[in-house]
Amino acid sequence: MKLATLRTDGRRTGRNGTTAALALGGDRYLPLPAADAGALLVADGWRALVQNAVAADAAAPESAVVAVPQSGLAPLLPAAGKVICCGLNYGDHIQEMGRELPAYPTLFAKYADTLTGPADTIQVHGSERVDWEAELAVVVGAELFRADEDEAQRGIAGFTVANDVSMRDWQNRTLQWFQGKAFDATTPLGPVLLTADEAEGDFEVRGYVNGELVQHGNTATLVFGPARLLSYISQFTVLRPGDLVLTGTPGGVGMGMVPPRFLQDGDVITTEIDGIGRLENRIRINTKE
């Protein structure tokens, strides 16, 4: 099944004014009794809860199904407790750059405030080097601590789409990337969670700028796949339902182009994974800090 988080109060961002929903295809959604998709995953027996909502809706005289445009979707996990990102994870890209495959995943952390909705305009202040990073994101579905890969695999709730939009000038001010990665409301996430039971193998990840394909990778070439990443992270910190792990981006980011190419005010980035969905976000840039 596919799950989403709908906005219910017209606010652009925030942890309130949302509801979890079952995505029925097109713009149709059945609201579910949880504040967002992450809160739903915390509930024991959440699958039964979804099934009950579907049965109740079928039996009711008036359907609760709503039509919601993509702009009415919130970031899938607006209150994610952990948003942990992996860098340098696509083997083909690493090898084409002439580097060795890494022995350990490069990890950095950010916060749920960084997330934004799948059709939101991304407002950036104070950066002249705004770049894109199309990524598969893994949603945690169970508490994992010092989990092996099998347990981690079973603990995956599903998959979604993210773009780890990066302010390269801030990212490269110091050795630590955090400040260039954690601008509020700059990482679009969604549109839906594809549950793990319906995921069929690997994913094609594509990134576009103004309709031009700039990134294309397949998660089969990840050095550290979803279960291995979750297992590794869980060796030092607990993962909980609704936590998010971004798996890294394939080649084709603007910083790597010759000459480097950065997003301009008004550009639109599209992030797409077959079988899950697409994000489409306009970038607005105010270069003054």
Residue 176 touches a copy of itself, criterion: CB under 8 A: yes
Distances from the Cα of 199 to the Cα of 121, 150, 154, 158, angstroms:
29, 17, 13, 8
Residue 174 touches a copy of itself, criterion: CB under 8 A: yes
Distances from the Cα of 264 to the Cα of 31, 75, 131, 280, 284, angstroms:
37, 23, 10, 15, 8
Indicate the residue among 129 and 206 with the shorter CB distance to a copy of itself: 129
Identify residue 134 by its one-letter amino acid code. A
| Nearest-approach distance from CB 115 to a copy of itself, in angstroms | 12
Indicate the residue among 9 and 104 with the shorter CB distance to a copy of itself: 104
Indicate the residue among 70 and 106 with the shorter CB distance to a copy of itself: 106
Residues 124-143: x/- map of binding to a copy of itself (CB under 8 A)?
-xx-----------------
Are the beta carbons of 107 and 85 closer than 8 angstroms? yes
Residue 278 touches a copy of itself, criterion: CB under 8 A: no
Of the candidate residues 16, 51, 71, 237, the single one contacting a copy of itself (CB under 8 A): 237
Residue 287 touches a copy of itself, criterion: CB under 8 A: no
Which helix (H) or strand (E) segment holds residue 95: the answer is helix 91-96
Coil, helix or strand for 265? coil
What is the C-alpha to C-alpha distance for residues 211 and 267, in angstroms, rounded to an integer? 10
Residues that bind a copy of itself (CB under 8 A): 81-82, 84, 87-88, 102-111, 113-114, 125-126, 145-146, 167, 170, 173-179, 182-184, 233, 235-238, 289
